[in-house]
Amino acid sequence: MATQLMQGERPISLARQHWSVVAPSFLVLAVAVAGGLAVLVALPTAVGGHDISGVKRIVALVLIVGTALWTVVQFLQWRFVTYLLTDRRIVLERGVISRLTESISLDRVQNTVIKRPLGDRLIGAGNIEIESAGRDGVEVLHRVPKAQTFYNEVLQAIDGMRAGTGPAPPPSPDV
């Protein structure tokens, strides 16, 4: 966990996006490999008396390697998205080379919504929308695994913060 916690802050839960976010990329890779192999096997080696076996290999190689590189990028982007719930805030981090970190203070949260269409419910995932004071729009935590559990933890952390059972205030410096 790369997130720097504030003094006295305690992590409650760490979530990543559900694997189903990246699964289509691997499906595309499998189709590209099958297509590359089909090019090698199905196309003739000569057309009009000209040998095209080198062209076939290049087309198959470009198709497979290009799709593999795209899949690796998609996988890394998926892998580096995290949602950290602490007793003071929700921290959203994303990015592979250039990192983006957003923080939503629990005492600023005005509304939370969990959306779980049928497909997401079948895999135990869902989207959690968080609306907070001072922000335009809603921050969406996409395809969170065990979404209901994470959502309940968010609500409990918000209630704890509002009830005063949240974190102790940071110690005052000695003057």
Three-class secondary structure of residue 51 per DSSP: strand
**Are 88 and 167 in contact, with CB atoms under 8 Å apart?**
yes
pLDDT band at 2 (very low <50, low <70, confident <90, very high): low
Question: Cα–Cα–Cα angle for 118, 123, 126, nearest 5°?
Answer: 65
Three-class secondary structure of residue 107 per DSSP: helix
Give the residue from 39, 30, 22 showing the smallest Cα distance to 75.
22
Structure confidence at residue 12 (pLDDT): 94
Structure confidence at residue 50 (pLDDT): 87
Q: Report H helices in the chain.
A: 23-42, 53-79, 118-123, 147-163
Buried b (16+ CB within 10 A) or exposed e, 146-172: ebeebbeebeebbeebeeeebbeeeee
The structure tokens listed for 45 are 């080696």
* Tens-place pLDDT, residues 115-145: 999 999 999 999 999 999 887 789 999 999 9
pTM for the full model?
0.80
Q: Exposed, middle or buried by CB within 10 Å (0-12, 13-18, 19+), for 90?
A: buried
* Tens-place pLDDT, residues 28-81: 999 999 999 998 898 888 888 888 889 889 989 999 999 999 999 999 999 999
Three-class secondary structure of residue 17 per DSSP: coil
